[in-house]
Structure 1
C-alpha cells in the first residue's frame, strides 16, 4: 500500500536532505540502503519498506533533483526487485530481496539485443533445457551497470516458446561483458553481453516457463515510471540552477530574471515539469493499485512527458546562463546529453506515440 500524502512529503524531504549531504555516488548508495530508501517498494517480510513504485519513484526523483541520481535504482529494486517479489520462488525472494533492499546486492537487467531493441518479440537469446538445468546463448547490448552488479536478470526465449527470465551470476562461465564506449557520461557504464553456453541450475528461472511476457511487463512498467522520475529530478535540478542565476546575475542594473524573455521560458519549464510529475504519480499509483492496463498507458505517457520536459528545461537552463551554462562549475552542460537518454531509453518517444495511437486511440498499426 502506498504512503499517504503527508508521508510522501516527509519522504521527499528526508531523501532531499540525504542527497544534499552525501555527494559520492557509492557512499550515497550505501547510505540510501541503510536508511531503507532503496527497498522502499519491496515487501517488509524481506527487508523492504512495504510501499510501492510510488515511493521508489519519489526517492529517485529527489536524489536526481540534488544532481546526484542513482540510476541503478531503475533496474535493481524497480525492475528486478519487483519481478522477484511478484513471481520468484520463496528461495529466490529470500536470496535476493533483502540484499536488493539494503543495497548490499545489485542486479542488472538484460533485454535489449542488436536486432531487437524496442521489439521484444524478436529476442533471439535462447534458453534450452539440458538435464535439470538450462543453457543460455545469445547477445545483449546497452546493459547498464553490469560491472557493479552481482547478477543480471536476462530475458531469453525457450525453443518454440515465449520469453522467460533467468538470474545469471556475474561470474558464470561463458558470461562475458564488454564496455561500450559512450559519449554520455553518467553514473553507469553500458555493456555488451555475450552468453556462450551459459549453464544455469533449474532454480535460475524466475517465475513460470514461457509465462515471461506478463512477468516482463511487470518490470517494464516500473522502469518507465522510474525513468520519468529520473528525468523529472534532473529537470528540477537544472531549473533550480537557472532560477538562482537569473535572480542574481545583474545586467543593466537589474537581474536578468526581471526580463520576460528570460522569465517566461523558465516559468513554462516549471509548468511542464509539474504536469509531467502529475502523470508520473498517476502511473505509479495505478501500478501499485494493480491496474496493469491503466498503468501501462500512464507509464508510457509519464515517461514521454517527463523526458520532453527535461530536455527542454535543460536546454533553457543552459541558455539562461549563457557561456556559464557550458562550464564545469555550473554542472549543466553534462545534462544536455544525460536527459536525452530519457528520450530514447528504455523505449523511444516514437514507440510511445505508436503505443498511444494504437492502444489508446485505436488507430491502425504501421508495422
Structure 2
C-alpha cells in the first residue's frame, strides 16, 4: 500500500521518505517492541538516524543540521512510524528542543547542543507540565531565582518523557515576581541532567514504548547565565516556537501508526481466506471500514503537511497544527482499531504487532495537547466564540 502519493512530495522529499523507510525498515516493529519491553533505548536506530542526517534535517547547517525544513522533519517522523517505530523522542529532542534553541538560543547554546541533537549523540528532554498546572502554562510554579550571575531553579515537573536517556532537559520556569498583568513571566533554561539537585522517578504507565515517563524534582538546581534561552521573561514566545512543531510531529507519529496498521490489515485481508477460499478483503464488511480509515488517514496527513508548510513559510501555523494533531490522533485510533478487527482474534496477539501500539496511539489523543484543549482553541480562535476558561 503506497499511501505517500497523496502528499505532494518534491523529488528531494520523495527520496528522503524512501531513505528513511529503508533505514528504519531494517529495524522494524519487532526491534521497537523489544526495546520497549526491555526498557532500553533504541540506541542503534537512533545512532543510524542521526548519522544519516535525519534527526537534524530541519536544523541550521551552521550548527550541524541539514538546513532543511519542518516539512522535511515531518517526513522523517511519519516514515519512521510507518515502519512500526513511533519514536516519541523524535518529537521531543529535535522537534521541540532543537527548534526552540535554533530559533532563540545564543550562539553558545546552539554550538553546545544543536550538533549533538542533530547527529544523535545528544538527547534533550522537555519539562513543562506540572502536577497542578496541566495545560495551563501560566500556572506553573517551578521558579528560576537570580543567584549572582546565574539562577537557582526549584519546582516539580510531571510526565516528562525520556529524561532518563537525555543529556539535558529544557525546563520551562516562571520568574519570582509577577508582571503588570499579575502573571509571572516565563523563562526557559537548558539544564544538564547530571546537575546537582535534579532527580526524577518513573511514573508507572500502560504505554509500551522505549521512552518512559517521569516526575522531575528540581531542588535549588543552579545553572549559569549560558543556560538561559533568549531573554529573561520571554519564555512564552519561545515555548510557542516549539509547540507547533510538537503538534505537527505528533500528528505525523499518529499518521505513521495509521499507515502501518492499514498496511498490515490490507495484506492480511488479501491473504486470509475463510469462506470458500475467498479472501476476507473481498467482503464489503471488511473492505469498507478499511477504506474509510484510509480516507481519514489521508485527510489527516494532508493537514499535517499543510501545517508544516505554513510553519516553514513563517505564517501562523497554530490553527493548522492543532487541527492536524486532533484529526491524526482520532484517525489513527480508528485505523488501528479496524486493523485489529480485520485480524479477528489475531488482532489481540502481540505476534501480529498491532495491539502493542494501542496505548501509544491512545496517548496521542491526550498528549501533547488534549483534544478538549484543541476544541477550546478552535472555538475561540477560529470561530470567535467566548472563552470557556
SS in 1 for 2:194: coil
Look up the match of 1:156: 173
RMSD: 1.1
- 1:338 Cα offset (Å): 1.3
Look up the match of 2:377: 355
Identify the range of structure 1 (20-29 vs 124-133) with the bigger mean alpha-carbon deviation.
20-29
Look up the match of 1:333: 355
C-alpha separation between the residues in 2 aligned to 1:262 and 1:205? 55
Q: Which ranges of 4 or more aligned residues in structure 1 deviate by more than 3 Å?
A: none
| TM-score between the two structures when normalised by the length of structure 1 | 0.97
- 1:4 Cα offset (Å): 6.6
In structure 2, stretches of 5+ residues that fail to align are 1-7, 32-41, 178-183
SS in 1 for 2:200: strand
SS in 2 for 1:19: helix
Equivalent of 1:201 in 224, 230, 233: 224
SS in 2 for 1:108: strand
Contact 1:107-1:152 at 8 Å conserved across structures:
yes
User: How many residues of Structure 1 are paired with residues of Structure 2 in the alignment?
Assistant: 363
Residue 231 (1) aligns with residue 261 (2): no
Look up the match of 1:178: 201
C-alpha separation between the residues in 2 aligned to 1:22 and 1:258? 32
C-alpha separation between the residues in 1 aligned to 2:369 and 2:131? 15
5 Å matches for 1:68-147? 68-147=85-164
C-alpha separation between the residues in 1 aligned to 2:148 and 2:9? 50
C-alpha separation between the residues in 2 aligned to 1:199 and 1:338? 35
| TM-score between the two structures when normalised by the length of structure 2 | 0.92
In structure 1, stretches of 5+ residues that fail to align are none
5 Å matches for 1:212-361? 212-252=235-275, 253-291=277-315, 293=316, 295-361=317-383
Cα offsets for 1:205-240 (capped at 9, x unmatched): 111100111110000110000100000001111111
SS in 1 for 2:195: coil
Identify the range of structure 1 (186-195 vs 159-168) with the bigger mean alpha-carbon deviation.
159-168
- 1:35 Cα offset (Å): 0.5
- 1:22 Cα offset (Å): 2.6
